[in-house]
């Protein structure tokens, strides 16, 4: 499994469509075997699904995410765990341990509006 997490200063960046970096975690036998940080190079929103696919990510942990991006990820076959906050490393470890707390109904309803970086905490339906 390769886990991708929108990343900023060690934390899960809370607005998927505006992330400039992902931390990618390679895993085997329930453990993280390696990790790397990759720049999105200006990709945003729906284009990020293709970016993640090109980096062989099959799982995404994120905060807030719009419906279009959710659909693009589903089409790309990438499993989605949204509504997650906190440290990226802790979230990846929690997913592998089966203890990740996430909100399957979390999504951003403010598409096109600038609302800071708290989307994951304020955009749940």
Is the domain covering 2-122 a CATH 3.30.420.130 domain?
yes
Percentage of the chain surpassing pLDDT 90? 69
Cα–chain-centroid distance for residue 92?
Answer: 11
The pair of structure tokens assigned to 33 is 């075997």
| Separation CA 34–CA 27 (nearest Å) | 7
Domain positions in the chain are 2-122
Q: Which among 68, 108, 111, 80 has a CA at the least distance from the CA of 4? A: 80
Statement: residue 3 has pLDDT above 70: yes
Higher pLDDT residue, 118 or 60? 60
The Cα–Cα gap between 39 and 29 comes to: 27
Asked whether residue 106 carries a pLDDT value surpassing 80, the answer given is no
Name the pTM for this structure: 0.84
């Amino acid at each position: 499994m390769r886990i991708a997490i929108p990343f900023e200063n060690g934390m899960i960046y809370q607005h998927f469509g505006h992330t400039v970096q992902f931390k990618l975690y390679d895993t085997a036998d329930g453990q993280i075997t390696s990790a790397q940080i990759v720049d999105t190079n200006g990709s945003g929103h729906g284009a990020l699904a293709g970016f993640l696919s090109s980096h062989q990510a099959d799982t995404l942990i994120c905060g807030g995410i719009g419906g279009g991006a959710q659909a693009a990820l589903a089409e790309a076959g990438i499993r989605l765990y949204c509504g997650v906050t906190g440290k990226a490393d802790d979230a990846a470890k929690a997913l592998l341990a089966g203890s990740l707390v996430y909100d399957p109904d979390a999504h951003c309803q403010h598409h096109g509006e600038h609302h800071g970086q708290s989307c994951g905490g304020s955009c749940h339906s």
